[in-house]
Homo-oligomer: A and B are copies of this chain.
């Protein structure tokens, strides 16, 4: 049984179909005082239940709802509860950067486990290691192949770039799927003006179709800056590829204004229609199968 929830981009229904499982919509409402109410409208006793809940805005409400759905499934006697959380949130606070900070993703994953979640499946976490904070079974899928296949139709002999050193593994994998050149952007600070410029470490962008690959586009600040720099270095066209299109604070407009021709993303989050969206359901269904055998 696959349950869709208040926060789902259609993934639950497609997963149910791919898994040949029943699809059920979790009941959901908001009390006047802002508390969430959820209810599982079917009998789940003894069943393995997959629920899909992505953490879009308001993110903390979505997280609490995930805990409430889990509690309700546990209370109702589900056998195993598998949470598919395509976009997980708080993944970038995966360590203490300044003394006194929390490891936010740890608190979030412990919360979900405490509510009774047996297994967690997500898409492209910021760092795969952070899923270890979830004490139950956990796995993730990487959509680099799907994204590369889609992007291959948009470009010719492209240069794939990671916007920074931290994203190299991900962007390199994307490049290899695409059979394309790969490099990463290096920052240079002008000693006199203090201005920061970016350019590919070894390759040249001039005349090339450039694809910048990152896991998350949030405000789009870094991506827009990179695009502007690459344009001025003579790039022919610039495509921005990401897994999770948060696109907050006018990011879409900012990217388009900076010369990004196209944005390619998955549907881990709802995306505006200007974004080329690749469905991740075909990746998630096998991940569920690997955990439950077959979902009933």
Contact = CB atoms under 8 A, between A and B. Distances in A.
Interface of A: 27, 31-42, 57-61, 63-65, 67-72, 75-76, 89-90, 92-93, 96, 98-104, 106-108, 110-111, 113-115, 218-219, 246, 248-249
A32 B222 CA distance: 14
A225 B93 CA distance: 48
B64 A60 contact: yes
A57 to B, nearest CB: 5
Nearest to A39: B100
Nearest to A99: B76
B102 A71 contact: yes
Contact of A218 (B33, B39, B70, B96): B33
B100 A110 contact: no
A67 B111 contact: yes
Nearest to A218: B33
B114 A70 contact: no
Given A32-B249, A218-B33, A38 B111 contact: no
Nearest to A101: B39
Nearest to A62: B60
Contact of A33 (B42, B70, B75, B248): B248
A208 to B, nearest CB: 31
A240 to B, nearest CB: 17
15 contacts: A32-B249, A33-B218, A34-B59, A35-B104, A39-B98, A58-B61, A60-B60, A60-B61, A64-B108, A68-B104, A72-B101, A76-B100, A107-B114, A110-B111, A111-B111
